[in-house]
Amino acid sequence: MKQTFDNQIIIIGAGPAGMMAAQILAEKGFKVQIYEQNKAAGRKFLVAGNGGFNLTHNEELESFIKKYDALEIREIVKNFDNTKVVNWLSDLEITTYVGSSGKIFPTKNFKPIQVLKAWLDRLEQLGVVIHYEHTFMDFDENSVTLNHKENELKVDYSKLILSMGGGSWKKTGSDAKWIEILKSKNIEITPLESANSGYDTDSGFHQLQGQYLKNIKISFEGNEKIGEVVFTKYGIEGSPVYYLNRFTRKHDFPLTLYIDLKPNLSETEILGELNGNDKISQILKRKLKLSTTALNLLKTLDKENYTNIEILSRLIKKFPIEILSYRPIDEVISTSGGIAFSELNHKLELTKFPNVFCAGEMIDWEAPTGGYLLQACFSTGNWVAKEISNTLKLRT
């Protein structure tokens, strides 16, 4: 069956990038149809809310955009930044607050499902139609092919926006099946890899499972981040770990990260404390005030290193953790890789398929958690919508 709409804009994927594009275009008077393979919109958007629904970050823009690895995505985020996201939420009557770490959350009276409902209500008011249980199968220069309950459907488009997400959390529909379709059309795809991922470590640290290190600094080749790390049955997790992903990605495993257990003290100051008359264990606990987890970590050292105060001082400032791999893609927060920017023009339009645009995590960019991922999805959706509205005339 084939459907044809006059001046029709088709969006594949009812995630944050696709819904943002739909809202902007509908506000400008365009007809917008979204096709979503799940039975409901925003599945990954809601899952992201399970660990704290941070929608963006309050960081100053200059440092904010440096959290993104690709220069192209930095410019796009700058165009629709964190301040504009807060204003957009306010327009949906979603109030926000800034948490202690700078993350921006909806106020306590708004749960993730309520934020999503307010957004969907706005889209409905604007005349956006969302078709559920429609799986993307293919596209050409004029139409997109979908499967709906084992029936093939072809829909003509004037502009097509692809916003189907990356490859993490397949249960939300983010299965990256679009990759083979685009590769068959000679569109370059940077292979997907785990991002915002924990690391598998040597089994020597597995005995610390469930224990936290707080207010530590973790580093790799000059890149460092202060925060909290948790030991798991397989290795380590935590926002400082996720931050280092894109720097370790350039190297082969195994690699070594270093943990500074006392960022506020120098090695010389630590050595001075250890040079006292008390037992080492008492100095570590009472004078250096190391946490129980930090003490347990140091106890994994052999006796020679633990009892040599020069070596121990150095290790407190630079404790080595050998990492063996990222976690599997399906269990991580996001993925790196995707459609190469070389395949897109400045509008985020495929150069091989004019009138086909890409948004969100399908594109090859990477950012840490803390609101940066959703921010870029909002920003890319806004960007393609404005580029389309600047070139597509409304038919009256």
Q: In what order do the strands lie in the sheet with 9-12?
A: 129-131, 32-35, 9-12, 159-162, 356-358
pLDDT at 51: 61
160, two tokens: 């097509």
pLDDT at 321: 97
Give the chain's domains with CATH numbers: 2-194+333-391 (3.50.50.60), 199-326 (no CATH)
What is the mean pLDDT for each group of 10 consecutive residues in the chain (396 residues)? Answer: 62 97 96 96 80 88 94 97 97 95 91 95 98 97 96 96 92 90 98 96 91 97 95 95 94 97 96 90 94 96 94 97 96 94 98 97 94 96 96 64
What residues form DSSP beta bridges with 151?
148
pLDDT at 120: 98
3-state secondary structure the chain: CEECCCCCEEEECCCHHHHHHHHHHHHCCCCEEEECCCCCCCHHHHHHHHHCCCCEECCCHHHHHHHCCCHHHHHHHHHCCHHHHHHHHHHCCCCEEECCCCEEEECCCCCHHHHHHHHHHHHHHCCCEEECCCEEEEECCCEEEEEECCEEEEEECCEEEECCCCCCCHHHCCCCCHHHHHHCCCCCEEEEEEECCCEEECHHHHHHCCCEEEEEEEEECCEEEEEEEEECCCEEECHHHHHHHHHHCCCCCCEEEEEECCCCCCHHHHHHHHCCCCCHHHHHHHHCCCCHHHHHHHCCCCHHHHHCHHHHHHHHHCEEEEEEEECCHHHCCEEEEEECHHHECCCCEECCCCCEEECHHHECCCCCCCCHHHHHHHHHHHHHHHHHHHHCCCCC
Q: pTM of the prediction?
A: 0.91
pLDDT at 173: 79
300, two tokens: 């994994």
